[in-house]
Structure 1
Amino acid sequence: MIQVNIQRTLHGVQGDFDLNVDLDIVEGEFVALFGPSGVGKTTLLRCLAGLEKPDRGRIAFNGSVWFDAQEHTHVPPQERHVGYMFQDYALFPNMTVRGNLEFARRKGSSRQRVDELLELMDIAELQHRKPNALSGGQKQRVALARALAAEPQLLLLDEPLSSLDPTIRSRLQDEILQLHQRMGISTIMVSHDVGEVYKLAGRVLVMEAGHIVRQGSPAEVFSSGQTTGKFRFTGEVLGIEPMDVMEALTVLVGNQIVRVAAMPDEASNLHVGARVMLVSKAFNPMIIALE
C-alpha cells in the first residue's frame, strides 16, 4: 500500500499553484496520471522517487515512512527500491547497454538479473552498444530494463512511449502490460494518450492545477456513454465485452473513447486493436471493419 498526502508549491506558466495530493494505491495496482502539461504529474513522481521533497505531508510505502515533513524524515532515492523510467530516457551515454543495467542493479543482487532483463526486453544483442548507436525504440527498451534492474517495489513511468511511432508504441505497450502482469509491481504512469491509458491502467487519476479532480477506471473516466448523432469516424477497438444479446465495443476515435453496441455477427470479425469505421444509420451506430 502506498499512502501519499503531500503539498508542494509549484511555479507554473500561469503563476504559482499548490500540488495537493491525498492518495492511496493498492499493492500491484497500475495507475495512470492524466491531465495537461504543467499540473504537477511529474513532480508527484519525483516526490515519490525521493528526487524532490514536498513542502508538507507524508509518504509511506507498505508501512515504511519515506517522507514526513513534521518528523524531518526523507529516505534517499537509493533506499526506496523505486524504478524510474524518465521521459528523456536519461541513459548514461558513456556506458554500454549492459553497463547501464549493471549500474542500476541493486547491490548484492545476482548478476543474472541483468542477463534475464536483456533477454526479456529482447536487447541481448545490443548489450555492448552505447546509447547513441540505438534507435528510439531500443532506447525505450533499455530505459525500461534499467528501471527494472533495481528489482523495484514501485515502478514510475513518465510518458514512457511518447516519442515513438504508433507501431513500436503499440508493441511496447503490450510488453509493459505483460511485464506488469508477470511481476505484479505497483506502477504509476504519466501519459497524455487516452488509448495508452485505457490499454494499460486499471485506474486513472485526472489532475488539474495540482489536484486530483476525477478518478476511476478508464471506461468511467473517458467514456461519455453517448452514441447518438450522425457521424462517420475511424477508430481502434480497445475492448469487446458481451452485453446480453449484443456486444459492447469500446473504440478510440482520435483522443476520445466511444462505447457502442454491435450485433454478434458484426463483432465476430473484430478483435482488440482492429481498425474500424463508426457510421450512423438512423441515429444507430454501425461498425464496419477496415482490416
Structure 2
Amino acid sequence: MPASERVPAIGDGLSGDAVGGITGAELLTHGELTVLGRLRDASNAVLYCEIAHEGVTAHCVYKPVAGERPLWDFPDGTLAQREVAAYLVSEATGWGLVPPTVLRDGPYGEGMCQLWIDTPGEDGEDADDGDGLLALVDAEEPAPGWKAVGFAEVGEGRTALLVHADDERLRRLAVLDAVINNADRKGGHLLPAAQGGLYAIDHGVTFNAENKLRTLLWGWAGEPLTEEAVEVLGKLAAELGDGGLGARLAGLITAAELAALRERVADLLRTGRHPEPSGEWPAIPWPPI
C-alpha cells in the first residue's frame, strides 16, 4: 500500500490527530483487525495486528480479555478496560502520554486495541539505550540532570544507584501514574519515540481503590508539583464530575475505584507535592524492567 495511505507510526507524531480524515481511535474502533503474530514475552496474551479502515492501515496490539491471567488484587477480566481508562485520563490531561486505545471486539472476543509505537532503531536506525531515561551508576548521588530512585543489587554483593533522567516528560508521567494509581511502572513501559516524543504502555493494573503505586519514577517524591501539573490536575478534577470523563470512566472501572481516583486528584491538589512511597506496598515493581 502506498505510504500516503498508511497511518504514520506513533513515533512519527500520530496520537489523537486525524490522518486522512481518521483519528487513531476511530481507526482502532472501526477498522478490520488482522492478527499477524503474538508477543510471547508478555504475561497476558498480546497479539500484534494490522488495522485497516477506509484505505488507511496501521499496526496495533490487541489484548483479548480471554487471554488475561487472573490477579488476586484486581477483578477478573478487567485489565483491558483499565488500559482504556488510562488512555482517557491521559487524553484529559492534554499530555498525550498513552497511545490511542479502545475497547472492541476482535478475532478472540472483546479486548483492548492500542496503536503500535515505533521507537528509534526499529527501522535500522541507531537507538540510544532507553533514550537515556534510566541508568545504573556506580555512585552515591545522582549526577546533574538525574534523579535518584534507590540502590539495586547488581550481583557479587555489589550495588548500584538506579537513576532516571530529570526530564519533564517523565515528570508528567509520574503525575499521571499517581493519578491512575499505576501498580507497575517498569522501565520497559517507557517508549521514546521520534521527534522527542515519549509514550507509556501497559496500564492493566491501574485504578485500584487501594494505594498500590509502584514505579521507577520516584525521583521527584515529596517535591512540589510544577505549575503546569497543578493547572492540569485542577482541570482534571472538574472533568471527573458525574458527566463527561467521569461518566465514561464509570463504564470501565468500579464506583469505588472512580471515587478513589477523584480523591487522589484532590489529594495531589491539596498537598501540591509528588507522592512518596507509603511503606504499605513495595514501592518499585519487580522485575524493574
Q: Same fold (TM over 0.5)?
A: no
Which protein is bigger by CA-based radius of gyration?
1
What's the TM-score once normalised by structure 2's chain length? 0.27
